[in-house]
């Protein structure tokens, strides 16, 4: 799922300083599951803003709303009544949600309250790690189910660099060396042979480098 993290309050304060009525819009999808959004985080931010604005002598109302997925037109459109009363929608969704709001409500300001980080998963309560960067061409079958594109700091495809030590990455000892993990897993599976093959230059055109992407499923078209 998409992992996000709330922006520092100082930044949110700046973003909202000129607005009068603010609608804080949460999303109950990925970002709620990673505890960055959902009714509770929306209420917490609303409470913070109310207090800060009262102290700063700012007028206006802070409204709260949460919908199922802020990246779907139908759900976002259902917010219309509340949106109309607001000068600013402060989105607590991922970047996709913010853009959906901007598109559906072209005359309203839609600002992000979160920083969208990556696609990943919780590895322990309160800790999420990156697993996939959406390169558009999956090679997990070749690398023991561990992605070298997302989990090697250099996206190397032919093994670890010289900075791999004790299973850790040279960038930060908190980061596991993706290639150590691949090596360990393939050695457990008895498939180390696969690593002898040279993996040739990756076609990055399927990734973000190929420009904003789209997926079309003909049969799903209405």
Partner 1 sequence: MKSGSNLEKVLSSGHFAVTAELGPPKSCDPEVVEKKAEILKGFADAVNITDNQTAIVRTSSIATGVIVARKGLEPVVQMTCRDRNRIAIQSDLLGAAALGIKNLLCLTGDHQSCGNHPQARGVFDLDAIQLIDMVRRMRDEKKFQCGEEMSVEPRFFIGAAANPFADPFEFQVIRLAKKVTAGAEFIQTQLIYNVEKFARWMKMVREMGLHEKTYILAGVGPIKSAGAARYMKNKVAGMDVPGEIVERLQAASDPKAEGIKLCLDIIEQVRAIEGVAGIHIMAIEWESAVPEIAERAGLLPRPQID
Partner 2 sequence: MNFSGYGTVRNFSEMKGTELKESSEKTGAVLVVGGGIAGMQASLDLADSGFKVYLAEKSPFIGGKMTQLDKTFPTNDCATCILTPRMVDVAENKNIELLVYSEVEEIKGYGGNFDVKIRQKATYVDWSKCTGCEECVSKCPAKIDDEFNQGLGRTKAISLPFPQAVPKKVTIKREFCHFFLKGKCRVCEKVCQLGAIDFDDQDQIIERKVGAIILAPGYEVYDAHHSPEFGFGRYPNVVTSLQFERLLSAAGPTGGHVQRPSDSQKPKRIAFLQCVGSRDQDHGYCSSVCCMYATKEAILAKEHDPDVDVDIYIMDMRAFGKGYDDYYNRAVEEYGIRYIRCRPSAIKEIPQSKNLLIKYQEGREGLRTEEYDLAILSVGLGPGSSSLSLSQKLDLQLNEYGFYQSDPFQPLLSDKPGVYVCGVFTEPKDIPESVIQASGCAALAAGLLAEARGSLVLEKTYPPEKDVSAEEPRIGVFVCHCGSNIAGVVDVNQVAEYARSLPGVAYVETDLFTCAQDTVLEMREKIKEHNLNRIVVSACTPLTHAPLFQETMQEAGLNPYLFEMANIRNQCSWVHAREPEKATEKAKELVRMSVARAAHLEPLTKFPMPLNHDALVVGGGISGMTASLALADQGFEVYLVEREGRLGGIANRLHYVFENQDPGELVTSLARKVEEHPRIHLYLHTELKKFSGFVGNFRSILSRRTDDGAGEEIEVEHGAIIVATGGQEYLGPDYGYSRDVRILTQLELEEKIASNGSVLQGIKDVVMIQCVGSRTKVRPYCSRICCGEAVKNALRLKEINPEARIFVLYKDIRTYGFMEKYYTEAREKGVIFVRYDDEHLPEVIVAGGRFGPKSGSNEHQRETEKQAAPHTQDMAFSVGQPEPTGHSTAATMQGRGETSASEQYWDSLTVRFYEPILDEMLELHPDLLVLSTGVVPSEGYEELSRLLKAPITQDGFFLEAHVKLRPVDVAFEGIFLCGLSHYPKYIHESIAQAQAAAGRAATILSKKFLEVGGAIAEVDSEKCVACLTCVRVCPYYVPIINVEGVAQIDPAACQGCGICTAECPVRAISLRHYLDEQIIPKVESLLAGVV
Partner 3 sequence: MNQITEDFEPQIVAFCCRYCAYAAADLAGSSRIQYPPNVKIVLLPCSGKVDELYLLKAFEAEADGVYVAGCLEGTCHFLTGNLRAKKRVQYVKSLLDEVGIGGERLEMYNLSSAEGQRFAEIAREMTERIRALGPSPLNQRKSKEGAIK
Beta strands in the chain (DSSP E): 2-6, 22-27, 62-67, 88-92, 109-112, 114-124, 127-132
125 makes contact, choosing from partner 3, partner 2, partner 1, none, with CB < 5 to 8 Å by partner type, with: partner 2
28 makes contact, choosing from partner 2, partner 1, partner 3, none, with CB < 5 to 8 Å by partner type, with: partner 2
Is residue 9 classed as helix, strand or coil in its secondary structure? helix
Q: What are the residues whose beta carbons fall under 8 Å from the beta carbon of 168, sequence distance 6 or more?
A: 174, 175, 176, 177, 180
Minimum CB separation of residue 64 from partner 2 in Å reads: 11
Closer to partner 2 at the Cβ: 41 or 63?
41
Is residue 50 classed as helix, strand or coil in its secondary structure? helix
17 binds partner 3 (CB under 8 A): no
8 makes contact, choosing from partner 1, partner 2, partner 3, none, with CB < 5 to 8 Å by partner type, with: partner 3
List C-alpha distances in Å: 206 to 30, 78, 117, 211.
24, 34, 20, 8
Size of site (CB under 8 A) for partner 3: 13
Q: Which two tokens stand for residue 169?
A: 């990455």
**CA 99 – CA 85 distance, rounded (Å):** 20
156 makes contact, choosing from partner 3, partner 2, partner 1, none, with CB < 5 to 8 Å by partner type, with: partner 1
Q: What are the residues whose beta carbons fall under 8 Å from the beta carbon of 171, sequence distance 6 or more?
A: 153, 163
Closer to partner 2 at the Cβ: 44 or 139?
44
32 makes contact, choosing from partner 1, partner 3, partner 2, none, with CB < 5 to 8 Å by partner type, with: partner 2
Binding region for partner 1 (CB under 8 A): 153-167, 170-172, 177, 179-180, 183-184, 192, 195-196, 198-201, 204
């Amino acid at each position: 799922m998409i992992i996000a993290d709330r922006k520092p309050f100082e930044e949110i304060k700046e973003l909202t300083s000129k607005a009068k009525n603010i609608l804080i819009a949460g999303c109950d999808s990925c970002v709620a599951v990673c505890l960055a959004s959902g009714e509770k985080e929306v209420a917490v931010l609303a409470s913070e803003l109310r207090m800060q604005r009262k102290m700063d002598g700012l007028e206006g109302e802070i409204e709260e709303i949460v919908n199922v997925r802020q990246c779907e037109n139908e759900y976002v459109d259902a917010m219309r009544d509340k949106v109309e009363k607001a000068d600013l929608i402060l989105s607590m969704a991922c970047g996709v949600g913010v853009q959906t709001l901007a598109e559906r409500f072209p005359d309203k300001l839609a600002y992000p309250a979160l920083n969208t980080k990556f696609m990943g998963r919780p590895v322990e309560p309160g800790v999420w790690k990156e697993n996939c960067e959406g390169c558009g061409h999956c090679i997990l079958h070749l690398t023991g189910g561990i992605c070298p594109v997302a989990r090697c700091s250099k996206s190397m495809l032919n093994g670890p660099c010289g900075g791999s030590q004790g299973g850790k990455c040279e960038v930060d000892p908190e980061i596991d060396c993706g290639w150590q993990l691949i090596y360990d897993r393939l050695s457990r599976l008895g498939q180390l042979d696969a690593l002898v093959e040279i993996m040739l230059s990756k076609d990055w055109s399927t990734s973000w480098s190929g420009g904003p992407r789209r997926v079309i499923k003909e049969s799903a078209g209405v």
